């Protein structure tokens, strides 16, 4: 009964008006100041204060309290002090009390001129005031947290925290001061031998991750939060597998080093994603160079509504461009990214509906906006669709790139950046061949342009992009399976969309004449393993969600490459960005073949388009079912030569 009354008192106090709350806090402070001041005399005289000291003691009491009240009020020490105490709060208290002691000593000596007032009282009063105030605040925090836990005991879930480092420590602190507790941390797990048997915030470290099952049973664990430092991919995978075996769906707290200013919040706890299991390291950027490249400039992004294009816009806007021009032919995605950015940023944003292969419309936009930096992300990317529609792939990917790149030179744009792909290396698909040709075209422009710096940035797959394997797998799992994979040995390079975009911008900001940059994609990932990981992350097993192998589709490779044999790879100042140096920039008759290819695409001649792609890109393997004469070269002789 007394507990419930105390709970109601705390709740009523929280709902008091601000003036009433401050008045109550000031009253409590006055009582503590008086107790500390009188206590200082008792300690000084061993609890036997001489009669001749009583007069000076009571005479200075009002001054001591008044000085402290003025100082505490000036330093805003009466605001929110009862909620929780930390080392910072104790330091602030010591600072305020030190100022009060100095002022009290000075005013006391000048105004009252005491004769029977021991100088040690000033120090004792400071010490006792600090002890009483810090103790009271700490006690109130403890009482408040205990009462909150007691009040909602039936709602709290036993929580296991994996990782007894800084992220775990900050997580417990956040839970302890949350207004509405939902968790009761009962144990840590950590592989660090030095931490075994220790307690953090009264919570035991129960040993290595291998004990997860025992701890789940012993403590009746209902929730598990992973709070491991960045780069612990192997440990993270083990935790997910063990947790799934025990029927617990784990969640994760981003590592402190990936959270701005180390500000950890329960709102940041989320489901474990496939990105976490891939374990990509955070990207370190040269912010100063990016600022020089983007700040106060007119930046145009084509394909702005797509996965890469929209993330480019999000990243670019952070660097304060004078204007961001977003171009896309898809109305809804462009509307979405425009609405998202304009609600959070004050910079001028200009969305423009346009097809990059429409030369007249793009010329109008260049004249109207006068871009200084162009990032060309617009492209058709889906391999099977482009195999079925090669003429459209050429019109958009090659024709659109030619229009944007030529307009950039004609309008004296400072920098043009082409977003390329690893599928351009030894291409086996129409999509890859078109991107390889755009790289060659950009390289040739880079050689002859006097106005614009041209470069291409080549990288592999990005996780979670529209229509990519991850969202497809996620949907298949949601529907109960099966998860379809083309081949057991199919591998791909993966990186997150933000990481890819950050590295693209960093490469584009390099003040060099290099025209091809290749991003470090890490180690290739087997698609079948990716599917298994996603099934396990969903809390299911392969018995429930089977994996079915459907066969390699037209144009697909079992594995991707990031560089050609003829390309020499050099390092740059950034460890994750390399320069690809080609020995040649295409055949001498490249321009003639290039123009013929675009004419065939405009005519919708898919057969001739495929033949010309094979002429321009000798590495491109023309499908055997597409035999015929394109009117330019004897392909029977060409195949025999192979």
322 domain-assigned: yes
Q: Is 64 helix (H, G, I), strand (E, B) or coil?
A: helix
521-535 pLDDT, tens digit each: 666 778 888 888 778
Answer yes or no: do 601 and 546 share one domain: no
* Alpha-carbon span 443 to 580, nearest angstrom: 11
Among the three residues 529, 562, 581, which one is the final residue of a domain in this structure? 581
* Alpha-carbon span 226 to 229, nearest angstrom: 9
Length of the chain: 642
Residue whose structure tokens are 């470090």: 520
Confidence of residue 418 (pLDDT cuts 50, 70, 90): very high
The answer on pLDDT for 351 being more than 70 is: yes
Whole-number pLDDT of residue 330? 92
Mean pLDDT of 86-100: 81
Range with the lowest mean pLDDT among 55-69, 275-289, 453-467, 608-622?
275-289
125 domain-assigned: yes
The answer on pLDDT for 264 being more than 60 is: no
- Cβ of 571: how many Cβ atoms within 10 Å? 9
Q: Give the structural domain span for 15.
A: 2-150
The answer on pLDDT for 415 being more than 80 is: yes
DSSP string, 130-165: HHHHHHHHHHHHHHHHHHHHHHTGGG-EEEEEE--S
H or E segment and range at residue 225:
strand 223-226
Whole-number pLDDT of residue 175? 77
* Alpha-carbon span 466 to 494, nearest angstrom: 14
Q: How many domains does the chain have?
A: 4
Whole-number pLDDT of residue 642? 34
Q: What sign results for the dihedral spanned by CA atoms 513, 516, 521, 522?
A: negative
471 domain-assigned: yes
Among the three residues 232, 247, 272, which one is the final residue of a domain in this structure? 272
Mean pLDDT of 419-437: 90
Tell me which residue of 224, 266, 377, 360 sits closest to 311, measured CA to CA. 377
Q: What sign results for the dihedral spanned by CA atoms 8, 14, 15, 16?
A: positive
Instruction: Assign residue 191 the CATH number of its domain.
Output: 3.40.50.720
CB contact set of 443 (below 8 Å; sequence gap of 6+): 454, 456, 515, 516, 582, 585, 586
625 domain-assigned: yes
Confidence of residue 411 (pLDDT cuts 50, 70, 90): very high
Answer yes or no: do 240 and 332 share one domain: no
Q: What sign results for the dihedral spanned by CA atoms 495, 496, 497, 501?
A: negative
* Alpha-carbon span 293 to 279, nearest angstrom: 30
H or E segment and range at residue 122:
helix 120-151
Q: What pTM was estimated for this model as a whole? A: 0.61
Helix, strand, coil abundance in the chain, percent, nearest 5:
50, 15, 35
68 domain-assigned: yes
* Alpha-carbon span 192 to 610, nearest angstrom: 58
User: Beta strands of 249-297 (E only): which ranges?
Assistant: 251-252, 270-271
- Cβ of 60: how many Cβ atoms within 10 Å? 20
281 domain-assigned: no
The answer on pLDDT for 627 being more than 60 is: no
Q: Which residues pair with 296 in a beta bridge?
A: none
314 domain-assigned: yes
Answer yes or no: do 625 and 558 share one domain: no
Mean pLDDT of 557-583: 59
Distance of CA 43 to the CA centre of its chain: 56
Whole-number pLDDT of residue 421? 87
Q: What sign results for the dihedral spanned by CA atoms 183, 185, 189, 195?
A: positive
Answer yes or no: do 176 and 88 share one domain: no
Whole-number pLDDT of residue 8? 55
Nearest 5°: the CA angle 178, 184, 189 is 115
Whole-number pLDDT of residue 459? 80
* Alpha-carbon span 24 to 52, nearest angstrom: 35
**Average pLDDT over the chain, rounded to an integer:** 79
Q: Which of 56-60, 355-359, 531-535 holds the top average pLDDT? A: 355-359
DSSP string, 559-624: S--SS-TTPEEEE-SSTTEEEEE-S-SS-TTHHHHHHHHHHHHHTT-HHHHHHHHHHH-TTS---G
Among the three residues 532, 560, 581, which one is the final residue of a domain in this structure? 581
Residue whose structure tokens are 């009462």: 147
Tokens (6 digits) for 100 = 């009060």
* Alpha-carbon span 416 to 409, nearest angstrom: 9
Answer yes or no: do 629 and 529 share one domain: no
Measure Cα distances from 228 to 148, 202, 266, 304 in Å: 28, 20, 15, 35
* Alpha-carbon span 187 to 215, nearest angstrom: 8
CB contact set of 498 (below 8 Å; sequence gap of 6+): 283, 311, 315
User: Beta strands of 354-409 (E only): which ranges?
Assistant: 373-376
Measured between alpha carbons, how far apart are the two ends of the chain, in Å? 91
Answer yes or no: do 216 and 240 share one domain: yes
Q: Which residues pair with 579 in a beta bridge?
A: 517, 570
* Alpha-carbon span 592 to 616, nearest angstrom: 10
Whole-number pLDDT of residue 259? 43
Whole-number pLDDT of residue 257? 41
Answer yes or no: do 203 and 128 share one domain: no
DSSP 8-state code for residue 305 = T
4-38 pLDDT, tens digit each: 555 555 555 555 566 777 787 888 889 999 999 99
Residue with more model confidence, 353 or 559: 353
Answer yes or no: do 599 and 633 share one domain: yes
Whole-number pLDDT of residue 493? 67
* Alpha-carbon span 44 to 59, nearest angstrom: 17
Query: Does residue 597 contact residue 398 with C-beta atoms inside 8 Å?
Result: yes
280 domain-assigned: no
Whole-number pLDDT of residue 55? 84
> What region does 12 belong to: left with phi over 0, alpha with psi -120 to 50, or beta?
alpha
The answer on pLDDT for 272 being more than 50 is: yes
Tell me which residue of 318, 310, 557 sits closest to 419, measured CA to CA. 310
CB contact set of 15 (below 8 Å; sequence gap of 6+): none
Is 576 part of the annotated catalytic residue set?
A: no
* Alpha-carbon span 160 to 220, nearest angstrom: 10
Kindly name the residue from 68, 195, 381, 423 that is annotated as catalytic. 423
Answer yes or no: do 123 and 193 share one domain: no
Answer yes or no: do 332 and 474 share one domain: yes
Query: Does residue 349 contact residue 270 with C-beta atoms inside 8 Å?
Result: no
Whole-number pLDDT of residue 401? 96
Answer yes or no: do 441 and 462 share one domain: yes
Percentage of the chain beyond pLDDT 70 is: 75
Percentage of the chain beyond pLDDT 90 is: 26
User: Beta strands of 72-222 (E only): which ranges?
Assistant: 157-162, 183-189, 199-200, 203-204
Answer yes or no: do 391 and 494 share one domain: yes
Whole-number pLDDT of residue 639? 33
């Amino acid at each position: 009964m007394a507990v419930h009354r105390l709970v109601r008192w705390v709740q009523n106090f929280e709902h008091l008006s601000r003036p009433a709350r401050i008045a109550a806090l000031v009253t409590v402070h006055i009582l503590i100041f008086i107790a500390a001041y009188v206590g200082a005399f008792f300690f000084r005289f061993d609890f036997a204060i001489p009669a001749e000291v009583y007069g000076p003691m009571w005479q200075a009491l009002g001054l001591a309290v008044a000085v402290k009240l003025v100082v505490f009020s000036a330093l805003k020490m009466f605001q929110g002090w009862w909620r929780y105490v930390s080392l910072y709060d104790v330091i602030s208290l010591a600072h305020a009390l030190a100022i009060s002691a100095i002022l009290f000593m000075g005013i006391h000596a000048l105004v009252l001129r005491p004769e029977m007032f021991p100088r040690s009282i000033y120090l004792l009063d400071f010490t006792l005031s600090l002890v009483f105030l810090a103790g009271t605040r700490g006690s109130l925090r403890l009482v408040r947290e205990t009462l909150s836990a007691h009040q909602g005991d039936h709602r709290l879930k036993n929580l296991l925290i994996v990782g007894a480092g800084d992220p775990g420590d900050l997580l417990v602190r956040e839970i302890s001061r949350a207004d509405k507790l939902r968790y009761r941390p009962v144990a840590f797990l950590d592989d660090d031998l030095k931490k075994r048997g220790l307690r953090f915030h009264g919570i035991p470290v129960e040993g290595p991750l291998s004990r997860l099952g025992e701890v789940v049973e012993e403590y009746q664990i209902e929730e598990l939060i992973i709070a491991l430092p960045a780069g612990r991919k192997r440990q993270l995978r083990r935790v997910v597998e063990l947790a799934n075996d025990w029927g617990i769906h784990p969640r994760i707290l981003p590592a402190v080093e990936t959270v701005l200013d180390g500000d950890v919040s329960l709102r940041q706890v989320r489901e474990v994603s496939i990105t976490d299991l891939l374990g990509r390291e955070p990207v370190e950027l040269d912010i100063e160079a990016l600022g020089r490249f983007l700040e106060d400039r007119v930046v145009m992004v084509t394909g702005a509504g797509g996965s890469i294009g929209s993330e480019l816009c999000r990243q670019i806007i952070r660097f304060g461009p004078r204007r961001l021009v977003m171009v896309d032919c898809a109305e809804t995605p462009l509307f979405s990214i425009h609405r998202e950015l304009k609600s959070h940023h004050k910079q001028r944003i200009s969305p423009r509906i346009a097809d990059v292969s429409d030369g007249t419309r793009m010329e109008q936009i260049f004249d109207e906006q006068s871009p200084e930096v162009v990032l060309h992300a617009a492209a058709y990317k889906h391999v099977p669709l482009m195999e079925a529609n090669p003429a459209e792939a050429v019109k958009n990917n090659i024709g659109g790139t030619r229009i944007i790149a030529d307009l950039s030179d004609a309008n004296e744009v400072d920098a043009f950046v082409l977003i390329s792909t690893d599928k351009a290396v030894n291409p086996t698909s129409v999509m890859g061949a078109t991107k390889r040709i755009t790289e060659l075209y950009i390289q040739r422009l880079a050689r002859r342009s006097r106005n614009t710096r041209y470069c291409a940035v080549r990288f592999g797959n990005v996780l979670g992009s529209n229509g990519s394997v991850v969202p497809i797998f996620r949907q298949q799992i949601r529907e109960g399976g099966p998860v379809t994979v083309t081949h057991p040995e199919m591998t791909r390079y993966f990186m997150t969309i933000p990481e890819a975009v950050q590295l693209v911008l960093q490469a584009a900001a390099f003040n060099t004449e290099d025209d091809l940059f290749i991003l470090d994609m890490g180690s290739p990932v087997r698609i079948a393993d990716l599917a298994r990981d996603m099934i396990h992350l969903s809390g299911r097993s392969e018995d429930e969600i089977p994996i079915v192998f459907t066969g390699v589709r037209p144009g697909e490779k079992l594995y991707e490459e990031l560089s050609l044999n003829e390309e020499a790879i050099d390092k740059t100042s950034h460890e994750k960005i390399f320069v690809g140096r080609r020995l040649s920039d295409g055949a001498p008759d490249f321009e003639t073949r290039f123009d013929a290819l675009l004419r065939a695409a405009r005519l919708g001649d898919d057969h001739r388009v495929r033949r010309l792609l094979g002429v321009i890109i000798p590495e491109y393997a023309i499908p055997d079912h597409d035999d015929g004469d394109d009117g330019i070269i004897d392909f029977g002789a060409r195949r025999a030569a192979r």
